[in-house]
Amino acid sequence: MEKMFKLKENGTTVSTEILAGLTTFFAMAYILFVNPAMLSQTGIPYGAVFLATIFASVAGTLVMGLFANVPYAQAPGMGLNAFFTYTVCFALGFTWQQALAMVFLCGVINVLITITKVRKLIIKAIPESLQNAIGGGIGIFIAYIGVKNAGLLSFTADPGTYITLGDGSVETTTIIANSGIVPALVNFNTAPVLFAVVSLVLMTVLVVLKVPGAVFVSILASTAIGIPFGVVDISQIGLDSGVSQSFAELGTTFGAAFGPEGIQSLFSDPAKIPLVLMTIFAFSLSDTFDTIGTFIGTGRRSGIFTSEDMDALENSSGFKSKMDRALFADSVATSIGAIFGTSNTTTYVESAAGIGAGGRTGLTSVVTAAMFLLSIFLAPIIGIVPPQATAPALILVGVMMLASFADIEWSDLDEAIPAFFAAVFMALCYSISYGIATGFIFHCIVKCLRGKADEIHPILWVSTGLFILNFIILGRLQ
């Protein structure tokens, strides 16, 4: 164990890594149920997506842990699965098999740009002030996810300011509102909300008092407290009897990306080829920068990627640095997920919860992967852990990550304006890549206005141009 993961060198222990892996898993376990509910609307069997989600997560996370030795977990990404369902399949009319083919090709592209060191060059080109802004922005983003998952926010949309997607049922209908939607704090008059407050206070107390395994202990304790609150329903505990049916359904999705209804038909109509290429581009750009942002935001301050490792990233060839290996692990996971039958697999920002709990090596990822594998049979048990119990972990980790803002010179508008837009748009647009995009765009604008356009790295010019092109394409796809 020590030889494989270098625990002492990274200042951690087996018990700490196990607790961190469990914390990461429970922080992102919602994807086991949300992803199938989302993708099954396209016609993919629910059970098949459930298993595909697990296998993609296990494969990607194991590669991250065993090859890169870093504490990051992977799973099908939120946002990307919505783009898969509502834009690619519903709005553009592609079949789910064709959409899976595009996801697979996106993964191949990500592998190529990793091997050719394009992603490495992008990371090297990002100014330090923007890297700190990304770190702090991810802190806001994570904390916002936590507050939302805890059920502490309500949103009001005026009549006529929203559209609905789906078949009209409560379970499958998605509502898209414009800027007329107004967020507000919920009233503290229901059991779930009061339970969320108790969970947040409990975890805060344990973390501040530095209780060993504070985050995971709080998740377990909060789940137990949720029983008398009526939030946790223990009557649902039991083994999943639908496993055999799920495996039977998986046979319809495994390899479907390569079948006659998948990649073999994707380029059969010459008139649709430009649309296909634009869609793959949109998939790839978002996937690439989501991962880069997660690594930069969580790896710098936590020490996952040390200064020596960053030097190796810049000066070495092959996969000698942890960042090189982590980028490769992330890039192969998307193609693996598409083969099984799910949308883009990406590095989860919720990995920060495990890192905040002390995870520093790939052992954390291995534990998380093992939990995903056990989910095949224990999903009903895992499903009783309410989001209010795990949300405080995201909130407190977000608080810790805001320290990155201290390294930004806020009195210097050259730094402050791009940093502000990167951080705020990351959280409020619910997208790491969109935050990075706005940061890049305003970095270029400010530098040009200052007469310092020559200080902008060529890769930032290209990346900014690609982001603008992506926004144009998304506007046309809708």
pLDDT tens per residue across span 75-123: 999 888 988 998 899 888 999 999 999 999 999 999 998 888 787 888 8
The whole-number pLDDT of residue 168 equals 62
pTM for this prediction: 0.83
Query: 269 exposed, middle or buried (CB, 10 Å; 0-12, 13-18, 19+)?
Result: exposed
Who contacts 208 (Cβ-Cβ below 8 Å, separation ≥6)? none
Whether residue 294 is predicted with pLDDT greater than 90 in this model: the reply is: no
CA distance 356 to 462: 34
Instruction: Using alpha carbons, select from 38, 66, 12, 56 the residue that is nearest to residue 347.
Output: 56
The whole-number pLDDT of residue 201 equals 97
The whole-number pLDDT of residue 205 equals 96
CA distance 62 to 219: 24
CA distance 309 to 292: 15
Strand partners, 156: 182
pLDDT mean over 176-180: 79
Whether residue 317 is predicted with pLDDT greater than 70 in this model: the reply is: no
CA distance 326 to 131: 18
Whether residue 305 is predicted with pLDDT greater than 90 in this model: the reply is: no
The whole-number pLDDT of residue 320 equals 72
pLDDT tens per residue across span 359-408: 999 999 999 999 999 999 888 888 888 999 999 998 998 898 898 899 99
Tokens 């008092």 belong to: 209
Q: Residue 343 corresponds to which tokens in the numbers above?
A: 């949308």
Query: 217 exposed, middle or buried (CB, 10 Å; 0-12, 13-18, 19+)?
Result: middle
Domain boundaries, the chain: 2-148+234-385, 405-475
SS (H, E, C) the chain: CHHHHCCCCCCCCHHHHHHHHHHHHHHHCCHHHHHHHHHHHHCCCHHHHHHHHHHHHHHHHHHHHHHHCCCCCEEECCCHHHHHHHHHHHHCCCCHHHHHHHHHHHHHHHHHHHHCCHHHHHHHHCCHHHHHHHHHHHHHHHHHHHHHHCCCEEEECCCCCEEEECCCCCCCCEEEECCCCEEEECCCCCHHHHHHHHHHHHHHHHHHCCCCCHHHHHHHHHHHHHHHHCCCCHHHCCCCCCHHHHHHHHHHHCCHHHCCCCHHHHCCCHHHHHHHHHHHHHHHHHHHHHHHHHHHHHHHHHCCCCHHHHHHHHHCCCCCCHHHHHHHHHHHHHHHHHHHCCCCEEECCCHHHHHHCCCCCHHHHHHHHHHHHHHHHHHHHHCCCCHHHHHHHHHHHHHHHHHHHHHCCCCCHHHHHHHHHHHHHHHHCCCHHHHHHHHHHHHHHHHHHCCCHHHCCHHHHHHHHHHHHHHHHHHHHC
Between 477 and 252, the more confident residue is 252
The whole-number pLDDT of residue 172 equals 61
The whole-number pLDDT of residue 167 equals 63
pLDDT mean over 113-135: 87
The whole-number pLDDT of residue 477 equals 66
The whole-number pLDDT of residue 314 equals 64
pLDDT mean over 10-25: 95
pLDDT tens per residue across span 144-160: 988 998 999 998 887 77
Who contacts 50 (Cβ-Cβ below 8 Å, separation ≥6)? 32, 35, 36, 246, 379
Asked if residue 33 lies in contact with residue 376, where contact means CB atoms within 8 angstroms, the answer is no
Whether residue 5 is predicted with pLDDT greater than 90 in this model: the reply is: yes
Residue 181: which pLDDT band, with cuts at 50, 70 and 90?
confident
The whole-number pLDDT of residue 323 equals 84
First-residue to last-residue Cα distance in the chain: 50
CA distance 238 to 241: 9
Strand partners, 74: 347
Q: What percent of the chain has pLDDT over 90?
A: 58
Residue 178: which pLDDT band, with cuts at 50, 70 and 90?
confident
Residue 239: which pLDDT band, with cuts at 50, 70 and 90?
low
Q: What percent of the chain has pLDDT over 70?
A: 94
pLDDT mean over 260-288: 90
CA distance 222 to 130: 37
Residue 124: which pLDDT band, with cuts at 50, 70 and 90?
confident
The whole-number pLDDT of residue 364 equals 97
Strand partners, 177: 162
Query: 5 exposed, middle or buried (CB, 10 Å; 0-12, 13-18, 19+)?
Result: buried
The whole-number pLDDT of residue 108 equals 94
pLDDT tens per residue across span 53-69: 999 999 999 999 999 99
Sign of CA dihedral 267, 270, 272, 275: positive
Whether residue 170 is predicted with pLDDT greater than 80 in this model: the reply is: no
CA distance 469 to 425: 18
pLDDT tens per residue across span 251-262: 999 999 999 999
pLDDT mean over 32-47: 93
The whole-number pLDDT of residue 163 equals 77
pLDDT mean over 324-351: 92
The whole-number pLDDT of residue 383 equals 84
What is the residue-averaged pLDDT of the chain?
A: 89
The whole-number pLDDT of residue 336 equals 94
Whether residue 230 is predicted with pLDDT greater than 80 in this model: the reply is: yes
Sign of CA dihedral 466, 284, 83, 104: positive
